[in-house]
């Protein structure tokens, strides 16, 4: 994870917009997730897309909760 963040920060420092970097990371993750589950010649069906979407959602919720906890600890 840190290598991807470091690369994203390097790109940001080169003048690439953070929203563009974020979109590129999401696209790359989606492409690689499809490869990981379906291989080079396959794709995800609707059920597979739903499972991946739920995994992304859960991960994002976990990240936000950790950020809230970190902020609360800093305010103490």
What's the pLDDT tens digit per position in 4-34? Answer: 999 999 999 999 999 999 999 999 999 999 9
The secondary structure of the chain as a DSSP string is -HHHHHHHHHHHHTT--HHHHHHHHHHHHHHHHHHHHH-SS----HHHHHHHHHHHHHHHHHHHHHHHHHHHHHH-
What's the pLDDT tens digit per position in 27-69? Answer: 999 999 999 988 888 899 999 999 999 999 999 999 999 999 9
Residue 29 has what pLDDT?
95
- The whole-angstrom separation of Cα 25 and Cα 5 is 10
């Amino acid at each position: 994870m840190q290598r991807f963040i470091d690369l994203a920060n390097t790109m940001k420092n080169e003048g690439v917009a953070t929203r563009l970097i974020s979109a590129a990371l999401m696209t790359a993750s989606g492409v690689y997730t499809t490869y990981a589950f379906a291989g080079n010649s396959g794709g995800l069906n609707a059920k597979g897309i739903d499972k991946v979407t739920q995994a992304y959602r859960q991960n994002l919720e976990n990240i936000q909760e950790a950020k809230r906890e970190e902020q609360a600890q800093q305010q103490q």
